[in-house]
Structure 1
Amino acid sequence: MSAQPGPSPNARQYALTALRERISAGLWEPGEKVNEQELAATLGVSRNTLREAFAALSGDGIITRVPNRGVFISSPGIADVRDIYGARAALEPAALQWGRDLDVGLLAQIVTAAEEARGRGDRHAVADANQRFHREIVAGLGSPALDETMARLLARMRLVFVRVLAAEPDFHAPYVDENRQVVGLLQARERAEAAGLLRTMIMRTGDRLADLLR
């Protein structure tokens, strides 16, 4: 008897990308159980394909598979925050300093959207704009591999923020002004200074989040 073919690479990648996007959008709470059957139907993929995507997310620390119980969204702790922000502090400043495809105009537009959202009290839109700002910084490197790395980091970050925002709903608001400073330095062609400022911001934020999770 011939073996059944496994999921196609395109189907696996689609499911994996869709899951990361849903987690990054905050559609699940940390610790929440994922209904595999419903999710497979929603995405239009087989459960086998979905399970392969779950295996990749498990390796990223985004979901946890519990034998005989199912799949659960991870609940990051202090060690996760240190890992995420250490990786970001290496990756994002490098993108500002050397990214050949860095779109400063787009970064400025994102900050303007965040400022407008903050002005009307739309905390969710401020958080979304902040994530997009950092994602587009890494996109400036022009590397699909690093874009995927950043997608994994952002999904893990969103799970951290679900916990933090319950205690500090306006957590993201002050970072709009700091992002504007970064854009200003980029517009002045001061890439090294912008990279240094961003690294300081990232490390300081990681320390603050770790304190909030204690």
Structure 2
Amino acid sequence: MAEQLAGLADDRALLGRTSTAERVADILRSRIADGYFPPGTRLSEDSIGGALGVSRNTLREAFRLLTHERLLVHELNRGVFVRVLTVEDVEDIYRTRSLVECAVVRSLGEPPYPLHGLAEAVAEGERAAVGGDWKAVGTANIHFHRELVALAGSERTDELMRSVFAELRLAFHVVDDPHRLHEPYLTRNRRILRTLEAGDPSGAGRLLSTYLADSLDRVVEVYRRRVGEDGTRTF
């Protein structure tokens, strides 16, 4: 927890004089998405509020917002925890991803497309793999899919998927072998990028559809073994 709180202290400057529950929620959502708070982690009001320099009421409102987004859960007389997803949650996350991401890619108009962010996410994952940091590879993979969604040029779509990707990170956290989970998608991410560079969004959409179906199968397999259908952890 000390490392996570140190990171939050660094984020304190982002709040400035216009500190609001929404901005606190943005910071915590990003930290959850980047893996600083794994599923089942109890979030201390005193520690987090102190690290960010915000009032208890502001922090509680931020917690409420993230609970509404299904990232946190409040347990009576125990506190607020990062949510542990169920298999049904995971399946719904992937259903949403398939609907949105594939639609974005297939609806792209005539090339060229703004692919700089996508290319950087691919390179980020490959650099992390060379260093053997498979958690960072998972983060880069999420960045890749955020950049895919960003090709729509829609703030509303970006906002919708921001919470979906944060939930996805919760699913990744229960994987006991992140190397096995993430390595195959390094090649597949680059193949999708090259297909878009070639001006073939329909082909990229087909690749992405198969990609997401395979990823769902892998994650659900792990979930059934380590978490159970109802989110009751066995790890």
Could you state the TM-score of these two structures normalised by the residue count of structure 1? 0.88
Alpha-carbon offset, residue 138 of structure 1: 1.1
Amino acid at match of 2:148: I
Cα distance change on mapping 1:99 and 1:50 into 2, 3 Å: farther
Alpha-carbon offset, residue 117 of structure 1: 2.2
2:20 maps to 1:22 = no
Q: Name 1:175's counterpart in structure 2.
A: 185
Cα distance between partner residues in 1 of 2:211 and 2:106: 15
Cα distance change on mapping 1:24 and 1:105 into 2, 3 Å: same
Cα distance between partner residues in 2 of 1:63 and 1:212: 22
Q: Name 1:43's counterpart in structure 2.
A: 52
Q: Map 1:119-158; keep pairs closer than 5 Å.
A: 119-158=130-169
Contact persistence 2:87–2:223 (CA under 8 A): yes
Q: Name 2:116's counterpart in structure 1.
A: 105
Q: Name 1:4's counterpart in structure 2.
A: none
Cα distance between partner residues in 2 of 1:208 and 1:169: 12
Could you state the TM-score of these two structures normalised by the residue count of structure 2? 0.81
Amino acid at match of 2:96: A
Alpha-carbon offset, residue 88 of structure 1: 0.3
Q: Name 1:194's counterpart in structure 2.
A: 204
Cα distance between partner residues in 1 of 2:42 and 2:144: 30
1:172 alignment partner, SS class? helix
Alpha-carbon offset, residue 62 of structure 1: 0.9
Cα distance between partner residues in 1 of 2:160 and 2:214: 21
Residues paired across the two proteins, number = 206
| Per-residue CA distance 1:14-67 (angstroms, 9 max, x = gap) | 111101111011111211111012111222222212212211211221111012
Q: Name 1:5's counterpart in structure 2.
A: none
2:20 alignment partner, SS class? helix
2:73 alignment partner, SS class? strand
Alpha-carbon offset, residue 170 of structure 1: 3.6
Identity %: 36
| Per-residue CA distance 1:91-129 (angstroms, 9 max, x = gap) | 111222235795213212321232232123222321221
Contact persistence 2:71–2:83 (CA under 8 A): yes
Contact persistence 1:114–1:126 (CA under 8 A): yes
Cα distance change on mapping 1:90 and 1:171 into 2, 3 Å: same
Contact persistence 1:102–1:137 (CA under 8 A): no
Q: Map 1:43-122; keep pairs closer than 5 Å.
A: 43-99=52-108, 103-122=114-133
Amino acid at match of 2:35: G
Q: Which moved more, 1:110-119 or 1:71-80?
A: 110-119
Contact persistence 1:92–1:138 (CA under 8 A): yes
Q: Which runs of 5+ in 2 are unaligned?
A: 1-16, 225-235
Amino acid at match of 1:84: I
Structure 1 segments, 4+ long, off by >3 Å, are 99-102, 167-170
Cα distance between partner residues in 1 of 2:150 and 2:52: 26
Amino acid at match of 2:95: G
Cα distance between partner residues in 1 of 2:58 and 2:180: 38
Cα distance between partner residues in 2 of 1:21 and 1:170: 25
Alpha-carbon offset, residue 168 of structure 1: 4.3
Cα distance change on mapping 1:75 and 1:109 into 2, 3 Å: same
